[in-house]
């Protein structure tokens, strides 16, 4: 089935059929409830835009859903984070950070259809990322005294966990992401200003143990995500030279320290701030905003990273400034939020080797207007 889908998509491209416009002539049935969600982060009224996904990975019929809160506004990547729009583990709920109003919204998900279930204060300033594991949800508040705050999740509603507030290593840390380990024992947070990775143990009552601060092995630590085998993967913007970004992998030790596995493997791109892992844990992709490219790596059983031949596997149109990326729940497609051009990049993932096939873009989003956050089910 996968081979047939890819062949159909490539045949359409060869014939000159546009795969990207919302009015695409590509067949729209058999989407099996898959969808892609992006967040406007609008300062007046934040919204989530939901696209239905076809069997061929293309997107159509966007619908807008108000979060009930306000975004930060801005131009390209104003939240400077990964995880501002996050699906729950079972993909039945969608969490949206409303940085402007200091709230978090929860939607119920039915395919590409959303229903607002809850909106609560983030208990901090400028929430820019959300992470969930089981009945636990933690919110990252990046402004002022950067902090994380915990909530209990029940029936689509959030309730603050008493004494769950934990501060990061200092004020102005410019925190950018947070992620639970697959077993739920640890919560990791990245600090851009200090180039640190904070580790908190998760206690039985849902609160967090004292912070353990780790230095990033490479410059420019930005986004952290976990592979299913427990490997922590961190995108690094790099020292600032041309195409100097990298990605590193770590093992979390029982005491909260991080042991480096692969250190600063080059992405051969610029401004790698985001990453996405396939559901089977075999591949990780890094989004290089400065070069409008996507790099790919195989994840070994030990957590070691090996560049997929060529390293740079996908190229978006010049000026795309692809920021957040997301892999579909079935592992067949990768989507990039092209904030500079106001579009979503679409790539097919080849299951045998992790290489990418460019399927074009879905346009119609506001360009350089504050877009942040993408998720796919």
pLDDT of 6 reads 47
pLDDT digits (tens, 9 = 90+) for 149-204: 999 999 999 999 999 999 999 999 999 999 999 999 999 999 999 999 999 999 99
pLDDT digits (tens, 9 = 90+) for 213-248: 999 999 999 999 999 999 999 999 999 889 999 999
Mean pLDDT (the chain) is: 93
User: What pTM was estimated for this model as a whole?
Assistant: 0.93
The answer to whether residue 17 scores a pLDDT higher than 90 is no
pLDDT digits (tens, 9 = 90+) for 305-351: 999 999 999 999 999 999 999 999 999 999 999 999 999 999 999 99
How far is residue 219's CA from residue 65's CA, in Å, rounded to a whole number? Answer: 38
DSSP secondary structure of 304-368: -EEEEEEEEEEEPPTT--EEEEEE-TTSSEEEEEETTTTEEEEEEEPTTT--EEEEEEE--SPTT
pLDDT of 144 reads 87
Phi and psi based region of residue 373 (left: phi greater than 0; alpha: psi -120 to 50; beta: remaining):
left
Q: How many CB atoms lie within 10 A of CB 134?
A: 12
pLDDT digits (tens, 9 = 90+) for 69-119: 999 999 999 999 999 999 999 999 999 999 999 999 999 999 999 999 999
Among residues 247, 291, 279, the alpha carbon closest in space to that of 354 is found at 279
In the chain, the percentage of residues whose pLDDT exceeds 70 is 92
Q: Quick check: 81 and 112 in contact, CB under 8 A?
A: no
DSSP assigned state of 202: B
pLDDT digits (tens, 9 = 90+) for 32-60: 699 999 999 999 999 999 999 999 999 99
pLDDT of 5 reads 54
């Amino acid at each position: 089935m996968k081979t047939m889908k890819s062949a159909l998509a490539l045949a359409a491209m060869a014939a000159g059929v546009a795969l990207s416009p919302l009015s695409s002539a590509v067949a729209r049935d058999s989407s099996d409830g898959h969808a892609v969600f992006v967040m406007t982060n609008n300062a007046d009224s934040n919204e989530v835009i939901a696209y239905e996904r076809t069997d061929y990975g293309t997107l159509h019929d966007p619908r807008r859903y108000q979060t009930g809160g306000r975004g930060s506004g801005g131009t390209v990547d104003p939240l400077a984070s990964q995880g501002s729009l996050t699906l729950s583990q079972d993909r039945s709920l969608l969490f949206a950070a409303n940085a402007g109003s200091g709230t978090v919204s929860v939607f119920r998900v039915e395919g590409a259809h959303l229903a607002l279930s809850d909106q609560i204060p983030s208990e901090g300033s400028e929430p820019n990322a959300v992470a969930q594991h089981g009945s636990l949800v933690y919110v990252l508040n990046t402004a002022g005294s950067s902090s994380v705050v915990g909530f209990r999740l029940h029936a689509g509603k959030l309730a603050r966990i008493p004494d769950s507030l934990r501060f990061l290593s200092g004020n102005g840390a410019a925190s950018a992401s947070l992620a639970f380990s697959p077993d739920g024992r640890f919560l990791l947070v990245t600090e851009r200003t200090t180039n640190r990775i904070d580790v908190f143990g998760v206690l039985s009552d849902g609160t967090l143990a004292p912070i353990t601060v780790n230095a990033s092995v490479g410059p420019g630590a930005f986004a952290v995500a976990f592979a299913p085998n427990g490997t922590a993967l961190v995108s690094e913007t790099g020292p600032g030279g041309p195409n100097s970004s990298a990605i590193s992998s770590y093992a979390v030790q029982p005491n909260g320290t991080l042991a480096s596995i692969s250190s600063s493997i080059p992405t051969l791109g610029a401004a790698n701030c985001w990453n996405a892992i396939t559901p089977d844990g075999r591949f990780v992709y890094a989004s290089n905003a400065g070069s409008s490219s996507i790099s790919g790596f195989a994840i070994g059983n030990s957590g070691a990273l090996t560049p997929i031949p060529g390293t740079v596997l996908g190229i978006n149109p010049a000026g795309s400034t692809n920021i957040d990326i997301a892999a579909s729940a079935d592992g067949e497609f990768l989507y990039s939020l092209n904030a500079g051009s106001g579009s979503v990049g679409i790539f097919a993932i080849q299951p045998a080797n992790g290489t990418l096939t460019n399927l074009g873009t879905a346009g119609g989003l506001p360009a350089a207007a504050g877009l942040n956050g993408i998720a796919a089910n």
